[in-house]
């Protein structure tokens, strides 16, 4: 049974690699709504014109740091981030801190029971999404999208 599982994973990885365009994007969903897309090579981003656009902070995008909303994030729970991150403190950010580096994305800070969202390893595979259910955040990696598909119809930035 283990061999079948390993063989299936190998086949999926080969399919993913064969369909890869060389571009790696992270699609960020909050409460089942696509709120932004990040190019994980260049840190270029697109913020969608949703009701959550004002809760997204891209002031540190050049560093690969993005702040997005989280369902259970409150101002009182942000003190630990504010102590570690002067930018977040100065801008009184309330949300989840995402970090993109080495063409992988991860949750760098969030508040949830047992901090399970932060414990998920960085990913650059479409087979390994980051799911943060308490905060209603899902990150899907897309490797078969071309750069001209990166620009959506309704964008904020």
Q: What digits encode the pLDDT tens for the residues 100-130?
A: 999 999 999 998 777 778 888 999 988 899 9
Say yes or no to pLDDT of 60 above 60. Answer: yes
Identify the CA nearest to 77 among candidates 36, 109, 119. Answer: 109
pTM listed for this prediction? 0.80
- Asked, for residue 8, whether it belongs to a domain, the answer is no
pLDDT given at position 73: 76
Can you tell me whether residue 54 is helix, strand or coil? helix
Domain interval for residue 82: 22-149
- Asked, for residue 7, whether it belongs to a domain, the answer is no
CA dist., res. 22 & res. 70, Å (int): 30
* HSE-CB of 153 using CA atoms within 13 angstroms: 0
Domain total for the chain? 1
Q: Which residue has the higher pLDDT, 32 or 115?
A: 32
Q: Do the beta carbons of residue 3 and residue 114 sit within 8 Å?
A: no
Q: Do the beta carbons of residue 40 and residue 104 sit within 8 Å?
A: yes
Q: What is the DSSP letter of 23?
A: -
- Asked, for residue 76, whether it belongs to a domain, the answer is yes
CATH number where 138 lies: 2.60.320.10
> Best-predicted range by mean pLDDT among 7-11, 140-144, 150-154?
140-144
CA dist., res. 7 & res. 118, Å (int): 29
């Amino acid at each position: 049974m283990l061999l079948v599982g390993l063989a299936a994973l190998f086949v999926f990885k080969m399919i993913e690699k064969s369909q890869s365009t060389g571009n790696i994007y992270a699609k960020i969903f909050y409460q089942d709504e696509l709120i932004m897309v990040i190019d994980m090579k260049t840190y270029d981003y697109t913020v969608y014109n949703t009701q959550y656009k004002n809760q997204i902070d891209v002031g540190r995008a050049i560093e690969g740091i993005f702040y997005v909303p989280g369902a259970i994030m409150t101002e009182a729970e942000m003190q630990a981030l504010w102590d570690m991150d002067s930018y977040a403190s100065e801008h009184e950010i309330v949300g989840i801190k995402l970090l993109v580096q080495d063409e992988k994305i991860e949750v760098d800070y969030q508040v949830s029971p047992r901090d399970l969202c932060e414990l998920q390893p960085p990913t650059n595979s479409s087979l390994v999404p980051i799911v943060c259910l308490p905060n209603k955040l899902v990150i899907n990696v897309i490797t078969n999208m071309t750069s001209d598909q990166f620009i959506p119809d309704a964008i904020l930035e």
